[in-house]
Amino acid sequence: MQEDQAELLKKITSLLDNSNIEYMITGAWSVIFYGRPRASHDIDFVIELEKKDFPKAKKLVSQIKNEFAVQEDSIKEAIEKKDMFNFFHLSTGLKIDFWLLTNDEFDKMRFSRRIKVPILDKEMVISTAEDTILQKLRWHKKAKIEKHLIDAAFVYQIQKENLTQKYLKDWAKKLKVEEDLEELEKINLEDYF
């Protein structure tokens, strides 16, 4: 499954690049990149698309329509509502989630901080470690799913020496997740291998 996802990740990032759609990898694959090997049932992207950019989305869909189940109407609706849409890979059943960049202050900040790195022998754009942690803490606060807290702990503990602590603490306070941020150091990662 991971191998199928790796190939899909390379394919989708190439298609986004070729369609001139700004993106960043987020979710499980950013956690995997920063240090936690784990399974995932989907690949998450944040993308920047406005109504005027719908032709870019149509171009992308035209290149993949034989491999993926895609509904153009869901893309239009996601662009209008600043929501999300999915592609389903027909041969593997894997799901690709595209979250539209919103006007939320943190959303805009983390998108502006995204970085280009080599992943699977290809240059790809990914969320920073700090923003991966903060977004995982936001999801944990909203959904109370332990996986998000554990993912954040893995990234935090593995990348600790490379993290900009002031940025993390300032945004944790703004996002009201400072208690969860403090908790990350105390989680025993060995319990989750």
Write the pLDDT tens digit of every residue in 37-49. 787 878 999 999 9
Residue 96 and residue 133 in one domain? no
DSSP code of residue 51: G
Residue 142 and residue 72 in one domain? no
Confidence label for 1 from pLDDT (cuts 50, 70 and 90): very low
Average pLDDT over residues 65-83: 90
Average pLDDT over residues 85-99: 92
Query: Is the pTM for the entire model greater than 0.85?
Result: yes
139 token code pair = 């999801």
Residue 101 and residue 137 in one domain? no
- CA 138/CA 130 separation, integer angstroms: 12
Q: In this model, does residue 100 exceed pLDDT 90?
A: yes
Residue 119 and residue 136 in one domain? no
Which H or E run contains 23?
A: strand 22-26
DSSP code of residue 101: P
**Among 51-55, 103-107, 176-180, whose mean pLDDT is lowest?**
51-55
pLDDT cut 90: percent of the chain above it: 74
Find all residues with CB under 8 Å of 84, minimum gap 6, and list them: 78, 97, 98, 99, 100
Residue 32 and residue 105 in one domain? yes
Residue 12 and residue 65 in one domain? yes
Q: What are the pLDDT digits (tens) for 143-192?
A: 999 999 999 999 999 999 999 999 999 999 999 999 999 999 999 988 88
